[in-house]
Amino acid sequence: MKRDTLPVRSGEELEIERIEQWLRDRMELPSGELAVRQFGTGHSNLTYELSIRDEWKAVLRRPPLGPVAPKAHDMEREFAVLQALHPFFPLAPEPYMYASGEVIGSPFFLMERREGVVFDSSFPEEIKPSRELGRALSETMVDRLVELHAIPYKETALKDMVKPEGFMERQVHGWIKRYEKARTDDVVSGERLMKWLSNHIPDSDKAAIIHYDYKLNNAMFQKDDPSRMVGLFDWEMTTVGDPLADLGAAMGYWIQSDDPESLKTGLGKPSVTIQDGFYTREQFISRYAEKSGRDVSNVHVYVTFAYFKLAGIIQQIYYRYKRGQTDDPRFEGMNVFVNHLIEHAEETAGL
C-alpha cells in the first residue's frame, strides 16, 4: 500500500532527540528509536508522523518555517479547539500534548494518528475508481459538514473562545486588509472585487461551529469502506460563525470537470473530484440545503468570498517566498494562481 507519509523534506527536519526526551519525561513510551516522517500535502503548517516501531504513533503539527502572519498558525489555539471539539465530533483527532516553544524553539502539539486513505489528486492505488464511489464520497462530505454545523456550540468550550456576532463583516474586511498587506507588484489589485464584497456582506443571525478549511484531502476514509470518513484534520481556522461561510469555503476548494484549467491546476494536479460520479458544486450545495434545512439562495456571495479568501491565503504564502523568507520551490509562481482566483471570484460575483 502506498504510504501517506514521506521522508522529511530538506530544511524541515525536527530536533527529534529533544522531542523524544520531552515526550519520555511526560508519558510512557515503548523502548526503541523514535522515527519521524512527514505528511507531504499542505502548503501551510508542517505535519509529521512520529512512531516507535508499530507500537506507538502520533502526529506532530508545527508552524511553517520563517516569519508568519500575525495570529496565523496558532498551535495553542488549534490544540484547544481539538480539546473542545473531539468529545462532540469524534472525527476530530484526540489532542495529546502542547509545547509552547521551549523544546524546539517553535510551538507544536501532538495528536492521535488516524489510519485510512486520503483522496487528493487521484484514487489511492488500492481503491478501485467508480462513479458510485465518487458519488458516495461526495455525499459523505456533505453529510459530515451538516453534522458539524448541527453541534450545539454553546455546550462546548468553544463558546468561550469565539465571538460569532458580526462574523462575516470581520471576515470580509479582515481579508481585504490581509490581501492588501501581502500584495506584491505581480498580482492584481482586486479593487473592484473588494468593493463588491464590502457591499454584499451577508446579514447572518445563525452561528455554528465551522471547520473553515473543509476539503476532500483534509479528510481520511476507511480502507475497506472508502465512503466512510474516519478522520477530519487541519482545524487551525475553526471557529463559530456563519455556516454558509463554511459551505462557501468548501466550494472554493471543490473542483469540477468543466472548471477552467487555471482553477483545476492552481495548486498542482487537479483534485480527484473532477472524475466521474463526484458532485458538481451545485449538487453539493443542493444536498447541503436539503440535509441542513438552510436557505442557500445567496450562497454565491459566500463562494465569491471563498475564492477571494483563498487568493489571500495563497498570496500570504507567495509574499513570504517573494521576500526570501522561504525557498520552498512549490511556492514559485503562486502569484499566477492568485490572479486567476481573483478573476474567478469576479465571474462568480457576476462582475
What's the rounded Cα separation, in Å, for the pair 105 and 98?
A: 13
Higher pLDDT, 208 or 268: 208
Instruction: Decide: residue 242, CB within 10 A, 0-12 exposed, 13-18 middle, 19+ buried.
Output: buried
Judge whether 75 and 61 are in contact, CB under 8 Å: yes
Kindly indicate whether the domain formed by 5-111 is annotated with CATH number 3.30.70.
Answer: no
What is residue 220's predicted lDDT score, i.e. its pLDDT?
96
User: Is there a contact between 67 and 320 (Cβ–Cβ < 8 Å)?
Assistant: yes
**pTM (2 decimals)?**
0.92
**Which residue ranges make up each domain of the chain?**
5-111, 131-349
Grid coordinates representing 44? 501551510
- Residue 55 predicted with pLDDT over 90: yes
**Predicted confidence (pLDDT) per residue in 103-142, tens digit:** 998 999 999 999 999 999 999 988 999 999 999 999 999 9
Q: What is the CATH number of domain 131-349?
A: 3.90.1200.10
Q: Cα–Cα distance between 294 and 289 in angstroms, integer?
A: 5
For the residues 81-95, what does the mean pLDDT come to? 97
What's the confidence (pLDDT) of residue 129? 93
Q: Does residue 65 register a pLDDT over 80?
A: no
pLDDT, one tens digit per residue, over 321-340 is 888 887 778 888 899 999 99
